[in-house]
Amino acid sequence: MQVSLFISCFNDTLFPQTGQAVVSVLERLGHSVDFPMEQTCCGQMHLNSGYRDETVGLMRRFLDVFEPCDVIVCPSSSCVSTVRTSYPRLAREMGDAELIRRTDALAGKVFEFSEFLVRKLGVEDVGAYYPHRVTYHPTCNSLRALKITDAALALLRNVRGLELIELPKSEECCGFGGTFAVKNADTSIAMLTDKLANIRSTQAEVCTAVDNSCLMHIAGGLSRERSGRRALHLAEILASTEEGMRQ
Amino acid sequence: MTDFAPGIVVERDFPDAARDALANTQLRRNIGKATNTIRAKRLKVVGEMPDWQELREAGRQIKAQVARHLDTHLLKLEEAVTAAGGRVHWARDGEEANRIIGEILARHGAREVLKIKSLTTDETGLNSALAQRGISAIETDLAEVIVQLGEDRSSHILVPAIHRNRAEIREIFKRKLAGTENLSDEPAELAGAARRYLREKFLTVPFAISGANFAVAETGSVAIFESEGNGRMCLTLPKVLISLMGIEKVIPSWRDMEVFLQTLPRSSTAERMNPYNSVWSGTRAGEGPEEFHLVLLDNGRTDVLADEPARETLACIRCSACLNVCPVYERTGGHAYGSTYPGPIGAILTPQLNQPGPAETLPYASSLCGACFEACPVKIDIPRILVHLRGKIVGRKKETLAGKFSGEAIAMAAMARIFGSARLFELAQKSAVIGQKPFVRGNVIPSLPGPMAGWTAMRDVTPVPKQSFRQWWRAERGAESSAKPGGSA
């Protein structure tokens, strides 16, 4: 299958290794990946911060870039949720029939990475090997908006060598929330503190999830605590193989 | 007894108020314990209902229909209440409602009036308005008694004293109630002390004020659902009963109540049914109050109705499930919201009933995690409305010079411009690699200045790596393999 990668501005800039992992897994499964170089940002931050006009501009741009693609895969559930849910809603609020048609069509073509593997390709075992103790944090967008927690967990259960530990109170938000983490830093930190305590209680070395934004917030706390634990995107665990580790 | 200003005047920005609340260890423990307990109970009783999602949808539709034809339902309600022997009053705002109620009581020469727990009277600041007329409002809901005797403010829609534990309640009672010298902190003893105090009031004060959970337009019936029986006392013993109700609380028919009778108690107290469900229609000779007044309050609700994307806000049945599941509320408690309506529903309702000012910080008091939407028994999409309100606030600010040139507005405009071009975006990525250099220590950035200082207060920052994904792709795959679909934009 020809798959177009929507990396997200955040991953492009801060977590290129996540994008590389997505490419590596998809190609390992025999699919061909392209990367539309004109892509930038879906506008999620502008949208959630109330900058609607700017969002509309970025939405139109996103449509222009990705409309020619058949299947779009993104390793960020919040960006997928923006394209799938917020775009069609915004188009409706604007009452623009053409935009409604375009955003609806696009919404059906965009998938979160783990969702794509399990629900679209029907693959739960990607041949990964990751001999570590891992806990999974279901990010709010993957849990409540896209409802893909099962897919991510199925993939993790099939990783050889991986010991999956259930995270207590996993469904509670980590406190990231985009600009919330800065505008309401104290409350965000209070939420993070409890998330970190729950992660610590699993004695896992790695906390994984499908959103690097939440993971960056969690990783920042783990690092500050000198906790000896780290955060890692699910795609990078799935990209890890026995052969790769030997190299 | 201290009375507080009208319930929706927010005096402090949420982040400031939250900082204080977060530092209050007793509050954190009390609220954390209470919300976690009620969450588990709610999940259990909701789980018993195989048609829970259908009930939520039915509730949503009833409320949407009410909002679309609010005028018709309200006129029908007025007609039915009047026909049943009650009197209907229309109040444009809180002040008018308080005046109407004050005048009715003054006409009867009332010095004291009983009160059933009512958010709407809290919203209008009725107690202090009555105090100015020399009329003491006596709260009769146990948690409201604790708040009133403690000269405190409610911190939860349903459990106003959720921020208090029993040791604190014992101290309040010992300070304020006679005959409590040897009071223990056993819940039964505490309730007994409140009961003795209240029983005397129930039997001597012939006036009462209530809110309303619902009012049925077809029969003019008003409903109060409660757990303690204090409401039943107030609704049946006094001579004069006055009910203050937000105009959105009307429902067309008795049949509609069936849905809410299933969803409301499960969502609020996590009970299958409330212990006391009182419904009355006007007055009847020889039983109950001789005089019944229904005051219908607008106070900004018609403005909410007019703003279509936010209209759903009016569907709220004040169950408080959203507060109990909210990770923000769980940590800050209700006082940080500075309003009668705290938590997620407060974060959307309060700013809509308010003037610009500190209330505008409330729509940002959420990580948009969506737990509230998931729990809401009438499916109010609170995260969506929070974002809508943020948009309105930004729109308003952009109209002022200071807002247009605020740090945030400039940064957002700049980022939109950068994201408008792949070339500029790549340039910005490269600049960040260079710009961050003074801040990088080892493999993290431990401290940043300005607005980002809040982030680094507790979180290290991941530095921007030298090679972005697009640079890696170009180096590995060459530009031609990327051109495949994408096209030019």
Residue A138 at interface with chain B, using a CB cutoff of 8 Å: no
> What is the domain-level CATH number for residue A30?
3.40.50
The answer as to whether A160 is a domain residue is yes
Q: What is the pLDDT of residue B486?
A: 42
From first CA to last CA, the distance across chain B in angstroms is 67
Pairing of strands B214-216, B221-226: antiparallel
Give B61: exposed, middle or buried? Use CB within 10 Å, 0-12, 13-18, 19+. Answer: middle
Question: Which of B391, B412, B454 lies closest to A185 in CB terms?
Answer: B454
Show the domain range for A202. Answer: 133-246
Whether the pLDDT of residue B60 is over 70: the answer is: yes
With bands split at pLDDT 50, 70 and 90, how would you rate the model's confidence at B1?
very low
**pLDDT, tens digit (0-9, with 9 covering 90-100), for A125-176:** 999 999 999 999 999 999 999 999 999 999 999 999 999 999 999 999 999 9
Inter-chain contact A190–B22, Cβ cutoff 8 Å?
Answer: yes
- Cβ contact, residue pair A41, B484, below 8 Å: no
Q: Is A1 in the B-facing interface, judged by CB distances under 8 Å?
A: no
Tell me the CA end-to-end span of chain A in Å, nearest whole number. 28
Residue of B12, B427, B433, B459 to mutate, interface with A, max A Cβ within 10 Å:
B459
Query: Which positions in chain B touch A39 (Cβ < 8 Å)?
Result: 422, 486
Say yes or no for a CB contact (<8 Å) between B367 and A180.
yes
- Judge if A193 and A242 occupy the same domain: yes
The total of other beta-carbon atoms located within 10 Å of residue B219's CB is: 18
pLDDT value of residue B5? 41
- Rounded mean pLDDT, B367-391: 98
Q: In Å, how far is A158's CA from the nearest CA of chain B?
A: 27
Q: What is the pLDDT of residues A186-241, one digit of tens each?
A: 999 999 999 999 999 999 999 999 999 999 999 999 999 999 999 999 999 999 99
Residue A171 lies in a domain: yes
Structurally, chain A folds into a number of domains equal to: 2
The reply to whether A34 and A109 lie within a common domain is yes
Chain B hits for A73, CB-CB cut-off 8 Å, are none
Contacts of A64 in chain B (CB under 8 A): 487, 489
- Chain segment B202-254, per-residue pLDDT in tens: 999 999 999 999 999 999 999 999 999 999 999 999 999 999 999 999 999 99
The verdict on A87 and A28 lying in the same domain is yes
Domains, chain B, with CATH or none: 51-302 (3.40.50.10420), 407-478 (no CATH)
B151-202 pLDDT, tens digit each: 998 889 888 988 899 999 999 999 999 989 999 999 999 999 999 999 999 9
Q: Which of B368, B371, B419 sits opposite A40 (nearest CB)?
A: B419
Mean pLDDT value across residues A48-65: 97
Q: What is the pLDDT of residues B266-324, one digit of tens each?
A: 999 999 999 999 999 999 998 999 999 999 999 999 999 999 999 999 999 999 999 99
- Separation between Cα atoms, residue B390 and residue B411, nearest integer Å: 16
Contact A34 B384 (CB under 8 A): no
Same structural domain, A89 and A12: yes
Pair A98, A63 in one domain:
yes
Share of chain A above pLDDT 70, in %: 100
User: Chain A 94-113, CB below 8 Å of chain B: which residues?
Assistant: none
CA dist B397 to A57, B391, B392, B404, B442, Å? 20, 10, 9, 6, 40
B357, pLDDT greater than 80:
yes
- Give the ranges where B84-238 is alpha helix by DSSP (H): 94-107, 119-124, 126-132, 142-149, 166-176, 187-204, 230-236
Last residue of a domain, one of A65, A95, A120: A120
Cβ pair A32, B481 in contact under 8 A: no
Q: Which residues does chain B have within 8 Å of residue A220's beta carbon, measured at their own beta carbons? A: 444, 455-456, 458-462
Reference B466, options A235, A175, A13, A224; nearest CA is: A13
Same domain, A159 and A233: yes
Give the rounded percent of residues in chain B with a pLDDT score beyond 90.
88
Q: Which of A86-95, B6-15, B259-268 has the lowest mean pLDDT?
A: B6-15
Chain B contact for A45, CB < 8 A? yes
- Three-state SS for chain A is CEEEECCCHHHHHHCHHHHHHHHHHHHHCCCEEECCCCCCCCCHHHHHCCCHHHHHHHHHHHHHHHCCCCCEEECCHHHHHHHHHHHHHHHHHHCCHHHHHHHHHHHCCEEEHHHHHHHHCCCCCCCCECCCEEEECCCHHHHHHCCCHHHHHHHHHCCECCEEECCCCCCCCCCCCCCHHHHCHHHHHHHHHHHHHHHHHHCCCEEEECCHHHHHHHHHHHHHCCCCCEEEEHHHHHHCCHHHHHC
Based on the fold, state whether residues A93 and A169 are members of the same structural domain. Answer: no
- The answer to whether residue A125 sits within a structural domain is no
By Cβ distance, the residue of B14, B452, B465 closest to A182 is: B452
Query: Is residue A127 assigned to a domain?
Result: no
Q: What angle do CA B330, B333, B335 make, to 5 degrees?
A: 165
Query: In this prediction, what percent of chain A has a pLDDT beyond 90?
Result: 98
Pair A221, A189 in one domain:
yes
Q: Find the closest chain A residue to B13 by CA distance.
A: A184
Q: Is residue A182 part of a domain?
A: yes
pLDDT of residue A247: 63
Looking at the predicted complex, does its ipTM rise above 0.95? yes
Rounded to whole angstroms, the Cα distance separating B345 from B157 reads: 10
Instruction: Out of B418, B462, B489, name the one closest to residue A216 (CB).
Output: B462
- Asked whether the predicted pLDDT for residue B485 surpasses 70, the reply is no
Mean pLDDT computed over B391-411: 91
Which pLDDT belongs to residue B4?
A: 38
Q: Using CA atoms, how far apart are residues B474 and B7, in angstroms rounded to an integer? A: 59
Among partner residues B15, B421, B481, which is closest to A186 by beta-carbon distance?
A: B15
pLDDT score, position B480: 53
CA distance B395 to B404: 9
Residue A163 and residue A227 in one domain: yes
Q: A191: distance to nearest CA of chain B, Å? A: 7
Nearest to A57 among B420, B446, B473 (CB): B420
Q: Is pLDDT of B3 > 70? A: no
Which site among A5, A11, A38, A171 would you substitute to test the B interface, given the most B Cβ atoms closer than 10 Å to its Cβ?
A38
- Partners of residue A173 in chain B, C-beta under 8 Å: 327, 367, 369, 371
Average pLDDT rounded to a whole number, residues B51-80: 98
Looking at residue B92, its pLDDT comes to 96
Task: Give domain status of residue A226, yes or no.
Answer: yes
A19 contacts in chain B (CB < 8 Å): 469, 472-473
Q: How far apart are CA A245 and CA B221, in angstroms?
A: 73
How far A131 CA sits from the closest chain B CA (Å)? 24
Question: Is the pLDDT higher at B332 or at B482?
Answer: B332
Show residues of chain A in contact with B395, CB under 8 Å.
50, 52
Q: Which residues pair with A207 in a beta bridge?
A: A135, A231
Q: Which of A86, A120, A154 is the last residue of a domain?
A: A120
Q: What is the DSSP string of B27-58?
A: HHHHHHHHHHHHHHHHHHHHHT-TTHHHHHHH
Asked if the structure places residue A128 within a domain, the reply is no
Q: Which residues of A touch B471 (CB under 8 A)?
A: 16
Would the pLDDT of B263 be above 90?
A: yes
Q: Name the residue of chain A whose CA is nearest to B40's CA.
A: A169
Packed helices B14-22 and A185-202: angle between N→C axes, nearest 10 degrees: 40
Shared domain check, A116 and A7: yes
Are B366 and A185 a contacting pair at CB < 8 A? no
A209 and A156 within one domain = yes
Question: How many contacts, defined by CB atoms under 8 Å, are there between A and B?
Answer: 231
Question: What pLDDT score does B489 carry?
Answer: 37
Residue of A nearest to B15 (CA): A184
pLDDT at B403: 87
Q: Tell whether A207 is covered by a domain.
A: yes
**What pLDDT sits at residue B481?**
52
Q: Identify the domain boundary among A120, A143, A171.
A: A120
For residue B80, CA distances in Å to B251, B255, B377 come to 13, 16, 28
Q: Domain check: are A27 and A79 in the same one?
A: yes
- What's chain A's average pLDDT? 97
| Binding-face residues of A in 156-215 toward B, CB within 8 A | 171-173, 175-193
